[in-house]
Copies of this chain bind each other. A is one copy, B any other.
Amino acid sequence: MTDQSEESAGELAAKLARLIAVRYPDEATRPGFAKLAQQIAEHSGTKISSTYLWELATGKKRNLTQGTLGTLARFFGVPPEYFLNEEVAARVDSQLELAAALRNNRVRSIALRAEGLSDETLDSILTMLSQARKIEKLPPLEEPGEAP
């Protein structure tokens, strides 16, 4: 175990897919790689071809260059380390889950109304949510704890 950043098989592909999914939660409206490439160009001035985006998303190319790494990271609003460091990726991913959830207006208003309630009330609501998730066959969510 001298190394700890290897076997990143199709990891990059998965990460890119996740970033896209979070940025465009509505699967129907989600742009294809062509439109995506165009948006990236408009956003960051630097251009990434649709073909190449597809190759990355499907794992056909994996060894990004400094430049494209930065362009992608800036567009998706994640630190460039997201693509390099698994630990950072995990931490960012939990944030991304939240961001994705807040795109759903109903979830957002629940969050807004939850703000300020007492801990006891929040706990009972949490219990209700867990029950609901179980009933609807959603995976339970683990709360991340501090690692000593």
Contacts and interface: CB of A to CB of B under 8 A. Distances in A.
Contacts of A65: 63-66
Contacts of A62: 66
Interface residues of A, number: 19
Interface string A38-64: 000000110000000000000000111
Interface in A53-86: 62-67, 69-70, 74, 79-81, 83-85
Contacts of A80: 81, 84-85
A140 B41 CA distance: 45
Nearest to A43: B2
Nearest 8 Cβ contacts at the A-B interface: A80-B84, A64-B66, A81-B81, A63-B65, A63-B66, A65-B65, A63-B67, A5-B70
